[in-house]
Amino acid sequence: MEKNQYIVALEIGSSKIVGAIAEKTSAGYLSIRHLQEERHLNCVRYGIVQNVENVKSSINRILKNLEGMIDGRVTQVYLGVSGRSLHSIVSEVNRSVGSTEAITRELIERIIKEASSNPVRNHDTVDIVPRAFYVDKVETPNPVGQFGSSIKIKVNLIVAKPSLKLNLNRLMTFGIPAKDYIVTPLAVGEQILTDSDRELGCMLVDMGAETTTVAIYKNKALIYLNTLPLGGRNMTRDVMIGLGVMEETAENVKKNINNPLDPVNASNVVIEGVNAREAANYISARTGEIIANINNLLADAHVSSDEIKSLVLIGGCAHLGGLKQKLEETIKIKVRMGQNPPTINILNSDINRMEYIEIFSLLATAAEQIKEDETCVELNSVVEGPIMPENYKPQDTTPRTPAEPKKEDKRAKKGDKQPGWMKSLKDRINRIMTEDDDDDEQ
């Protein structure tokens, strides 16, 4: 009987840290039952770890709790990468090739690696996403097997400030290594967007506590990724400072106003000593600023709203009253709320919530990458019945007739001896090529 694989992932956000375990069967089915989280303030700012020791302690507690749920030991984890400085940069490589030789997958991989070899000032490359292929200046979805005198590959380098990944590395010094780093926005885009979303044009907007990440897809490829240093906590702090209340009070007021983005029509009631209409003025103003910045990213990506058919909204701030309608009015794109990845089965109703889309997407992406003989958990051995010492022998209590003393067996004294990063990229290229082959067959 084949053993199931266990996959562990951690997602470190500005307001909370979440860890979860998924179980993958030999048939490829993925289920999630166990999830733990710890909320925090000021340990992570704009998605970047500030207080390494405090975050490390939180991670330790989360993993210990998860271990208790599965009666095992976590040996490695997949770690999500996101934060303020995360964004994409377009890179191109042109290569002359022999017109009598077919373009191979190995050649494509070498060229993509070359595209990432040029350093980006003050940034580290954390991932590479193929964007477009050209053979003899003609765009093609799958260059493998084609002939031509030149090939050009355009890729998106996903880069971030060195401190982002450096502090993530520092977190994993308590004995449990990071098996791999997965860029969270890319994982979410791969897992929750449909093929038609990526083909026709889609904005994926993740509005979190202190950052808003925007990923834009078109013609089946990621064409743009950027992170704004603005989120739901900015609204909360505006209320806190403007009305002179504690941050917890301001957060509760924000969540309980009937229409925080329409101050004129907001109920003129008092919530925890705060006038709801006055609070709505602050919330509406900051939300308008965030939406304006999201709209400006379309121009930065060199696309118009007419080229984007849908906007998928996720994140802790996504359920702010009136936000969906305000986005549609301002950006002129149809908006829908994101749903959990369709490839996973969530067995615990308490965790089947939209706020965990990021960690679920990390687990689903890790399940695609992990090798068949690998796992992130060592289960404790199960022993049926009472546990006896290794050399234990039951005593014979049957009465015996006295007998002649036996000679000592010398052999009994002697005792018995007892028998003693490039992989992720290759997977993405293979997936692109496989999709194109399937399209050709259809």
Q: What is the count of structural domains for the chain?
A: 2
Q: What pLDDT, in 10s, does the model give residues 45-80?
A: 888 888 888 999 999 999 999 999 999 999 999 999
CATH number assigned to the domain comprising residue 68 = 3.30.420.40
Q: Are residues 197 and 105 in the same domain?
A: no
Kindly indicate the confidence band of residue 382, based on its pLDDT and cuts at 50, 70 and 90. Answer: low
Q: Which of 128, 160, 192 is the last residue of a domain?
A: 160
Of 111, 127, 160, which one is at a domain's C-terminal end?
Answer: 160
Query: Helix-strand-coil percent breakdown of the chain, rounded to 5?
Result: 35, 25, 35
Q: Are the beta carbons of 172 and 60 closer than 8 angstroms?
A: no
Do 117 and 188 belong together in one domain?
Answer: no
Do 205 and 324 reside in the same domain of the chain?
A: yes
In a domain, 189, yes or no: yes
Domain final position from 320, 349, 378 = 378
Virtual CA dihedral for 250, 256, 261, 262, nearest 10 degrees? -120
- Rounded Cα gap, residues 84 and 228, in angstroms: 6
CA distance 98 to 76: 44
Q: pLDDT value at position 145?
A: 92
Strand runs labelled E in 97-177: 124-135, 138-140, 150-160
User: Residue 131 is part of which domain span?
Assistant: 87-160
Does 53 share its domain with 194?
A: yes
> Which phi and psi angles does 222 have, rounded to 5°?
-70, 125
312/195 same-domain check: yes
Cβ atoms of 281 and 263 within 8 Å: the answer is yes
pLDDT averaged over every residue in the chain: 87
Q: Is 200 exposed, middle or buried (0-12, 13-18, 19+ CB in 10 A)?
A: middle
Are 183 and 150 contained in the same domain? no
Confidence of residue 216 (pLDDT cuts 50, 70, 90): very high
- For residue 405, being part of any structural domain is answered with no
Amino acid making up residue 130: P
Do 317 and 217 have their domain in common? yes
Nearest to 17 by CA among 205, 209, 150: 209
| Polymer length in residues for the chain | 442
Q: Same structural domain for residues 49 and 195?
A: yes
Tell me: do 333 and 370 sit in the same domain.
yes
How do residues 387-434 score in pLDDT, each as one tens digit? 445 554 555 555 555 555 555 444 444 444 444 455 666 676 666 666
Statement to judge: residues 92 and 225 lie in one domain: no
**DSSP states along 375-386:** -SEEEPPP--S-
Spatial separation of the C-alpha atoms in residues 83 and 226, rounded to whole Å? 10
In a domain, 345, yes or no: yes
Residue 334 and residue 340 in contact, taking contact as beta carbons nearer than 8 Å: no
Residues 150 and 295 in one domain: no
Specify the higher pLDDT residue, 253 or 174: 253
pLDDT attached to residue 196: 97
Identify whether 208 is part of a domain: yes
What is the CATH number for 149?
Answer: 3.30.1490.110
CA atoms within a 13 Å half-sphere pointing along the CA-CB vector of 5: 24
Give residue-wise pLDDT tens across range 5-27.
Answer: 999 999 999 999 999 999 999 88
311 in the same domain as 216: yes
